[in-house]
Amino acid sequence: MWGEQRVPHRCNRHSSKSARVVRHALAGCLAALLLAGLAGRVHAEDGNQPHKKQDNSASLRQLYEQIGRKTGLRWQQLAAIDQYERTLTRVRPKSRPVAPQALTGIYISETRWAGELNPDPHDTAPLSIAWFGGIGQDGDNDGRADPSSEADLLYTVASAIRAGEAGGTGEAGQTSAAVGDRYAIGLWRYYHSERAVLRVRQFAAIIDAFGSTRLRKHVFPLPVTAEYSYRSTWGDRRGWGGRRIHEGTDIFAPYGVPVRSTSCGIVELKGWNRYGGWRIGIRDIDNVYHYYAHLQGYDNKIKPGDVVQPGQVIGWVGSSGYGRPGTQGKFPPHLHYGVYRDRGTVEWAFDPYPLLRKWERDERKSQRAARPSAGR
């Protein structure tokens, strides 16, 4: 009896051992499969990564041209309208709920789209929308005025601006200035804001000059090969002109070091300011105002309304300011660089130091990368 029990006991022991080996082997295989699957997933995600940062500029250009043919507006004007809308959406995301994946930045409230007295705020029927005084229109010819359609959105804004123009679309013999004035009137009647009219026209001028909306390149405001130093001075107390804080970064450098535009943009202001001395202000396509102060002088060829590009010399480091026009030497020579973002009704300053550090690193890296090829 014991023998009969021992044999099964020995067999159970060997079976357990074999089972453990099998289990370990299976576990190893399973782990390998899981790791392989995980690696495949990681590679797949890596492979899909470029699609997450998809360049929509070609699709946008096609949309601008499509709506331009229907409304008579140039694609640059439509791109400028969209870009202005995009800057408002970026700074006011709560009041302008535009989907992150949306192609355009345009936002139209439900009330304005469907009509204030419309019992259906989600109405997409062009006839009933018009009946209740809404502005929503069908831009893609599908019979619906759908605010989720990019074509309908852009066509609606463009049509409203065209309807607001005095005198229609232009007649033979009229100057381009007259047509531009009517366009400005249409913009004002849509936005009811002189600031909006100015911004859209500025953006159109920038897009006209470069033939593109992809204008995100930036450089450091001084040549990175120059002698200079700077640190974060945001929020420091100022000692002249009353109680105020420092809204920018001071970059100390010798007199005469070139000051460059950090971005593509349009010259908005140029002249004397008692705080900033000889200063120049440039607006970029992201509605950021770049402020360069305490200059020794300007490039005389540059005037308000001119479009500039990154790296273009606009003036030279000096020590002007803190007094009447021409006041110099009340502090060491340096460039005061500030940035201000437009919220549609007001502008506010933000700290440029992180941007300066990034642009400086990027430019140095680019120069290092170009150096070996230049020596070949």
In terms of Cα–Cα distance, which of 161, 165, 142 is closest to 152? 142
Domain-ending residue, one of 210, 241, 272:
210
Same domain? 103 vs 200: yes
Residues 250 and 182 placed together within one structural domain of the fold:
no
Inside any domain, residue 41: no
Residue scoring higher pLDDT (373 or 349)? 349
Q: Considering only residues 359 and 8, tell me which one the structure prediction assigns the higher pLDDT.
A: 359
Residue finishing a domain among 210, 239, 268: 210
Whether 113 is in a domain gets the answer: yes
Query: Quick one: residue 170, left, alpha or beta (phi over 0 = left, psi -120 to 50 = alpha)?
Result: left
CA distance 334 to 210: 31
Residue 219 inside a domain? The answer is no
Residue 18 Rama label (left phi>0; alpha psi -120 to 50; beta): alpha
Do 175 and 313 fall into the same domain?
Answer: no
Distances in whole angstroms, Cα of residue 267 to Cα of each of 15, 50, 191, 223, 305: 85, 35, 23, 20, 5
Residue 151 in domain: yes
Q: Are residues 151 and 234 in the same domain?
A: no
Query: Is 98 found in the same domain as 67?
Result: yes
- 339 shares its domain with 311: yes
The verdict on residue 342 lying in a domain is: yes
- 222: in domain: no
Of 67-76, 170-179, 184-193, 335-344, which range is least confident? 170-179
| DSSP element (H, E) containing 267 | strand 265-273
| Tens of pLDDT, residues 139-186 | 999 999 999 999 999 999 999 999 998 554 444 444 444 456 899 999
347 and 268 co-located in one domain: yes
Dist. CA 162–CA 158, nearest whole Å:
6
pLDDT computed for residue 245 by the predictor: 63
Lowest mean pLDDT among 54-58, 83-87, 116-120, 251-255: 54-58
Q: Are residues 242 and 204 in the same domain?
A: no
Domain count, the chain: 2
Nearest 5°: phi and psi at 262? -85, -10
Q: What is the tens place of the pLDDT at every residue in 213-224?
A: 999 899 999 999
pLDDT digits (tens, 9 = 90+) for 99-130: 888 999 999 999 999 999 999 999 999 999 99
pLDDT at 313 over 70: yes
Query: Could you tell me if 196 and 283 lie in one domain?
Result: no
Reported as a single tens digit per residue, the pLDDT across 44-55 is 333 333 334 466
Do 273 and 200 lie in one domain? The reply is: no
- pLDDT (mean) for 71-80: 96
> For residue 16, is it within any domain?
no
Specify whether 97 is located in the same domain as 154. Answer: yes
Residue range 18-35: average pLDDT? 45
Q: Of all residues in the chain, what percent carry a pLDDT higher than 90?
A: 69
pLDDT at site 41:
36
Q: Which of 298, 294, 296 is nearest to 323 (CA)?
A: 294
Give a yes or no: residue 17 inside a domain: no
In this structure, are 174 and 143 located in the same domain? yes
Left, alpha or beta for 156 (phi > 0: left; psi -120 to 50: alpha)? alpha
Domain region containing 338: 229-375
Average pLDDT value for residue range 303-318: 98
